[in-house]
A and B are shown apart, each in its own frame.
Chain A
Amino acid sequence: MHYINLILKRIFSSFFTLLIVSALIYGVLEILPGDVATRILGRAATPESLVILRAELGLDEPALNRYFSWLYNIFQGDFGNAMTSKRPIIDVLGPKIFNTMVLSGFAFLLYLPMAFITALVQAANKNRQIDNILSIVTLVILSLPDFIIGTIFLILFVVFIPILPVVSLVGEYTNFWEWVKALIMPAVTLALIMSVYAVRMLRDNLIEVLDSDYVLMARLKGLPKYKVLIKHALPNAITPTLNVTALNLGFLIGGVVIVEKVFTYPGFGSLLVDSIKFRDLPLVEATILIAAAFYVFANLLTDILSILFNPKLRKE
C-alpha cells in the first residue's frame, strides 16, 4: 500500500505548488511596488481616473485581505469579472478553453503517427542515409522558433498557394469544413513542434533496445525485422517517450500561445496574450493560474502513471 502514500504525497505537493504560484502571481501583479491602477491605465492615467479605478477594484483594502478573498472565491469557482468586458471570467474562458481543446486534440492525433512512424523508420535504418537526413530535418525543425514555423506555413499556403484562410476564426456558426480548414495549419504546426522532441527521444530509445540481448535473441530465432521492431523494441522504448509526451503537454501551453497568435485562432492562448496586452489584471491572473495548473496536473499525471507502472517503486 506504500504507493498510495506516494501518490497522495505527490497530489498534496502539487496543490502546494499551485498555492505558491497563486501567491506569486497575485503578489507580483498587485502587491509589488507601484500602484495597480497606474499599471492598468498606463501612461495615459489622469488622477481622477486613478481614484475611480482604485475604488472600483477595492484597492483600499489591505493587500493580504484581497489575496485571501480572491483565493477563497476561486475555490468557489468564481474568478471574478474581467475588466475589459465586465463579464464573469468563467464565461469568457469557457468557449476559449473549448476551442483550444479542439485544436490540441486535433494536433495530438497528428502528433502520434508523426512521432512514431518517423522514429521507427530512423531506428530501423540506423546510421544510413535516411536516418541522417531525418536527424538533420528534425534538428532544424526543433531549433526553429514556433512563430517562424507558423509564418512559413502562412507564406506557403496563404500567399503562394492560396488554399487556406489567413485567420483561423471559428465561432458558433462555423460549419464542420470551415472548422477543419481553420484548424489544419495551427494543428500541423503544434503537432510538428511536439513531435520533433519525441522523435529524437524515441529513436535513441529504440536503438538502445535494439542493441539488447533479447532483441538479438528474437532476431536469431528467425523473426522478421519489422516484427522484432514492433513486438519487442517498441513496447520497451515507449515508457521514456511517454514521459516526453507528458512534458510536451506542459510545453503545449507555451506553444499554444504562439500558434494561436500566428493564426489568429480564438483560444486560450490568444486570450492570455490579449489580457496581458489590455492589462486586464483579473483575467491575466486567472489565465496564468490555469496555465500553471494545467502544467502541474500534466506532471502529476505522469508521476502517478510512472508510480503505477513501475514495479520497483510499487514494492518499495
Chain B
Amino acid sequence: MKLINKFIEIWKNSNLTFKIGFIILFLHIIVAITGPFWAPYHYAQMGVGKPLTGMSWAYPFGVDNLGRDVFSRVIHGSHMVISLSLLGTFIGLLIGAFTGLFSAYIGGWVDEIIQRINEALISIPFLVLGLLAILAAGPNLSGEPLLMSLAVAIVYAPRISRISRSAALDVITRDYVLVAKLRGENAFSIIWREILPNTSGTLLVEFAIRAGFAPILIGSFGYLGFGIRPPFPEWGSMINDNRNLIYMSPITVVGPAFALTSLVVSLNLFTEGLARTLGKSNKLID
C-alpha cells in the first residue's frame, strides 16, 4: 500500500515525459508476460499467409519470406528479449558486485589484480567484448538464448565491478565496519551484512540503467548475425533477416524496429522523467 501511495504521489508531481514513458513501458511488460498466450500464431509457424504481402489487418507487420506472421514473432520476441535482458543484467550484477565489493574490502594486491583485469576488459569496446564472448563459447553453444544473457553479463560485469568497488570504498571506512571487524566477523559476513546493504542503492541504480541498455546489446548481436538461432524470435535478428526484404516489404523490418525502439525510448523517457521529478521535489526521496 505504501508503495502504491508513493507511486501516486510521484505520478501527480511528474512531467509528461515520465507519464508517456511509464505507459509505454507498462504496455511492453504486459505484452512480454501475456504475449505468448494471445499471439495469433506460433513464432515458428510457416505458411500462415502469402509471403511479402505487406501490411494488412490480419498481418499488421506483414508476412516474411517463409510465410511467418511477423507480428506474432515480434510479440513472442518481446518475451524473449525482456527476460534475457533482465537475466543477463542480473548475472552481470552478481559477478560485478561480488568482485567489486570483495576487491574493495580485501585491498592490496588482490584489489590491484582485479582492477587491472577490469580495466583491460573495459578497454575492449563493449560490443566487441560481447562478440568475443560469443566466439569463445564455441560452435556448440552459439545461438543458445542463454548465451546472449551470458554475453551481456560479461560485458556488464567489469563495469559494475568498478562502480561497486568505488561505492564500497566509501563504506569501508565507516565505524560499523570497523566494529564488525573487531567483533571478529569474517570477510564474507562483513561484505554480506555490512557493505552490501549500504551499497545497494548504487547497485540498484546500476541495474536499472544497465537493464535498459541490454535489449540494444542483444539486438546488436542479433543484427550482426550472432544472435539466437532461428526460428527463435529476437528483434535484432529479425531486422537482420528481413533486411533483404526491405524493398519488397519494408514493414517486416519496421515492425521489429518499432518494438525495440518503443521499448528503449520509453525506458529512457521513464528514467529521465523519474530523475527530473525526484530532483524537483526532494521530499519524495526518503
To the question of whether A and B form a pair in one complex, the answer is: yes
Contact A145–B128 (Cβ < 8 Å): no
Q: A258-B224, A273-B131 are in contact. Are A20 and B125 (CB under 8 A)?
A: no
Binds A, one of B45-53, B103-111, B136-144, B197-205: B136-144
Query: Is A155 interfacial (CB 8 A cutoff)?
Result: yes
Give the residue name and chain of the A residue nearest to B135 (CB).
Answer: A276
Q: Output the least CB separation between B7 and chain A (Å).
A: 23
Contact of A24 among B120, B254, B261 (CB under 8 A): B120
Flag B112-151 by CB within 8 Å of A: 1 or 0 each.
Answer: 0000110111011111100111111011100000000000
Contact A258–B127 (Cβ < 8 Å): yes
Contact B123–A21 (Cβ < 8 Å): yes
Contact A43–B121 (Cβ < 8 Å): no
Residue with the highest number of chain B CB atoms closer than 10 Å, among A25, A43, A250, A292 = A292
Query: Is A296 interfacial (CB 8 A cutoff)?
Result: yes
Contact A258–B220 (Cβ < 8 Å): yes
Contacts of B139 in A (CB 8 A): 38-39, 42-43
State which residues 5-43 of A face B: CB under 8 Å: 16-18, 20-21, 24-25, 28-29, 32, 34, 38-39, 42-43
Contact A292–B123 (Cβ < 8 Å): yes
Q: A20-B116, A147-B236, A155-B250 are in contact. Are A296 and B224 (CB under 8 A)?
A: no
Contacts of B17 in A (CB 8 A): 136
Within the assembled complex, what's the spacing in Å between the Cα atoms of A272 and B224?
11
Give the residue name and chain of the A residue nearest to B127 (CB).
Answer: A254
Contact B128–A291 (Cβ < 8 Å): yes
Flag B224-262 by CB within 8 Å of A: 1 or 0 each.
Answer: 111000000000100100010011001001100100110
Q: Output the least CB separation between A11 and chain B (Å).
A: 15
Query: Is B92 interfacial (CB 8 A cutoff)?
Result: no
Contacts of B225 in A (CB 8 A): 273, 277
Contact of A288 among B132, B239, B253, B260 (CB under 8 A): B132
Q: A145-B219, A151-B239, A277-B225 are in contact. Are A34 and B267 (CB under 8 A)?
A: no
Contact B126–A284 (Cβ < 8 Å): no
Query: Is B178 interfacial (CB 8 A cutoff)?
Result: no
Within the assembled complex, what's the spacing in Å between the Cα atoms of A145 and B236?
10
Q: Can you list 26 A-B contacts (CB < 8 A)?
A: A17-B119, A17-B120, A20-B116, A28-B133, A32-B136, A38-B138, A139-B265, A139-B269, A145-B236, A145-B260, A147-B239, A148-B260, A152-B257, A154-B246, A155-B250, A155-B254, A254-B125, A254-B126, A258-B223, A272-B131, A273-B131, A276-B135, A291-B124, A291-B128, A292-B124, A295-B124
Chain A residues in the interface with B (C-beta under 8 A): 16-18, 20-21, 24-25, 28-29, 32, 34, 38-39, 42-43, 136, 139-140, 142-148, 151-152, 154-155, 158-159, 250-251, 253-254, 257-258, 261-262, 272-273, 276-277, 279, 284, 288, 291-292, 295-296, 299
